[in-house]
Structure 1
């Protein structure tokens, strides 16, 4: 329901003009309604239908239809008078830089007054301009009306469908260019990723440290037991080591000592590597890996495995973006 904000109406200091706006709005609605009805009445089938079923209505409106141009000219006279009045006010108030700017800016008001069928419907633009002016001054709020929400919803749906198709077309073109060996991949590697090697190294270092801390530190004991069991099984299957037990007196002792030593060495090495990865000291290691995958610009002139991996990464990222673009947000608001 369209409501009038009386407080803003009084505070605008243009009460007279807004009253005129409301009067013109009512007259325009009445006039356009008559124009539409007279266009429908112009069909002989409609006239015959009224003559048969509503003879009183036919008799009452037929003189209006025969002299419709006269009745329309009454509305035109009122509209032109209001147009001239506003033109004079704009000249007096110096709304525009030149006195003759007003009819050019409000051309639809002037042309809509021409009593020709196709031009009469330009008066709809006048209704829109009045409603927009009232909405701009917050006298009315058209966004709360069901009609506005209905058209706005499908307008947004249309824009989303149109923009989605355009974006998907562009992204598909980018994928095709990347697969054909476009310079896009080199630009991504040399101009986007390479200057941000330190940022990538820091981010990867933090992620690796976080993953190691969450996955390794709470399971340190279980991991050590698992490693020792694996080492014991591997050593038990080693034929050279199993021959030590045949040494007189000290064979079994040497074998047990060697198995324990190897198990401790392997477990300690693995634990040290994981502890290094779980700490900030892993930054240099991660940085070296990043430097291998992102060499300095100009060093690679052929399609290397790193370049192929980058192409695959870009294509997968674009596929993920396309999947997200295909999500129809406007359907989520459907009742």
Structure 2
């Protein structure tokens, strides 16, 4: 249903033009309806069917069909009159930089007025332009129409499918070029990654520190107990250490002391490593790792395995992007209304 915003209509200061728009919209719909009906009526079978079923209507419309061009010219005259009135107003109000710009900008209004064949159906463009103008001034809200929502949804779905395929194709080509050793890999390494080495080091240092502090610190006690238990179990499986029990008097004591000492040492070492990673002291360590992965430009002595690792890293990043691109958002949007409808029924 067409809802008109009367408040915006009153405050637009173009009430007369919007009234003309609505009148022209009605005339265009009526005219196109007549054109479609007359085209259908041109078939002999349709004319005979109407003559048999509704002879009164057929007798009334037959003269209209015979002189349809005359009746269509009446509509054309009205449309051209409105066109020239708007052109005159555009010249007076100086809407465009030149007085002759108006017919070129609104060419579809003129082409649709040609009363010949398929040119008549171009009057649909005039209907679209009027609806767009009314929507632009917020007199009507096209986005609330079911037809618009239907067309917009499948238009967005089409664009998403098309763009996804193009992006995946491009990314796959980039992966092939990087794997084959094209200059693109050197450009990514030397022009993009190396100049941002400090930023990457800072980011990785922060991420490692956060992961260690949030993942390890709250469960430090549990991890220590787990490590000590695993070390005790490993030591008990050791044949040489088990022989200490054979020593008279002090054998079992020595074995237990060694088990406790080794478990404590391992737990403390792991604890110290994770504490270092959780603090700002990890910056130098991360910097060394980044320095190994990203050599300076011109460093030909870097091992090839380093380049292979970097290529693998870039490929994995691109694969992650491709996986995300393949997510069909329009399908989730399609399922959402169905879920809401099912919930409403329940």
Per the TM superposition, whether the score is higher than 0.5 is yes
1:8-157 equivalences under 5 Å are: 8-157=8-157
For 2:111 and 2:141, the matched residues in 1 are separated by 28
For 1:326 and 1:224, the matched residues in 2 are separated by 43
Q: Which residue of 1 aligns with 2:199?
A: 199
Q: In the alignment, is residue 331 of structure 1 matched against residue 337 of structure 2? A: no
Question: Deviations along 1:7-60, whole A, 9 cap, x unmatched?
Answer: 111111111111111111111110111111111111112112222222222211
Per the TM alignment, residue 242 of structure 1 is displaced from its structure 2 partner at its CA by 5.6
C-alpha RMSD of matched pairs (Å): 2.8
Deviates more, 1:261-270 or 1:64-73: 261-270
- How many pairs are equivalent? 332
Per the TM alignment, residue 190 of structure 1 is displaced from its structure 2 partner at its CA by 2.0
For 1:256 and 1:16, the matched residues in 2 are separated by 100
Structure 2 unaligned segments of length 5 or more: list them. Answer: 339-346
Distance 1:302 1:116, change over 3 A: farther
Question: Deviations along 1:273-301, whole A, 9 cap, x unmatched?
Answer: 33322322222112212211111122147
Per the TM alignment, residue 304 of structure 1 is displaced from its structure 2 partner at its CA by 1.2
Q: In the alignment, is residue 175 of structure 1 matched against residue 175 of structure 2? A: yes
Q: Which residue of 2 aligns with 1:226?
A: 229
For 1:111 and 1:257, the matched residues in 2 are separated by 100
For 1:127 and 1:319, the matched residues in 2 are separated by 47
For 1:218 and 1:266, the matched residues in 2 are separated by 14
Cα pair 2:25 2:130 within 8 Å, conserved: yes
Deviates more, 1:2-11 or 1:257-266: 257-266
For 2:290 and 2:312, the matched residues in 1 are separated by 17
Q: Which residue of 2 aligns with 1:290?
A: 290
Distance 1:29 1:303, change over 3 A: farther
For 1:307 and 1:52, the matched residues in 2 are separated by 85
For 1:123 and 1:249, the matched residues in 2 are separated by 110
Q: In the alignment, is residue 237 of structure 1 matched against residue 244 of structure 2? A: no
Q: Which residue of 1 aligns with 2:211?
A: 211
| TM-score, L = length of structure 1 | 0.88
| SS of 1:122 mapped into structure 2 | helix
Q: Which residue of 2 aligns with 1:315?
A: 315
Distance 1:211 1:47, change over 3 A: same
Distance 1:167 1:228, change over 3 A: closer
For 1:101 and 1:211, the matched residues in 2 are separated by 64
Cα pair 1:245 1:255 within 8 Å, conserved: no
For 1:101 and 1:288, the matched residues in 2 are separated by 66
Per the TM alignment, residue 307 of structure 1 is displaced from its structure 2 partner at its CA by 1.3
Distance 1:279 1:52, change over 3 A: same
Q: Which has the higher contact order (CA 8 A, sep 6+)?
A: 1
For 1:80 and 1:258, the matched residues in 2 are separated by 105
Q: In the alignment, is residue 306 of structure 1 matched against residue 309 of structure 2? A: no
Distance 1:245 1:287, change over 3 A: farther
Distance 1:185 1:301, change over 3 A: farther
For 2:323 and 2:180, the matched residues in 1 are separated by 22
For 1:263 and 1:156, the matched residues in 2 are separated by 61
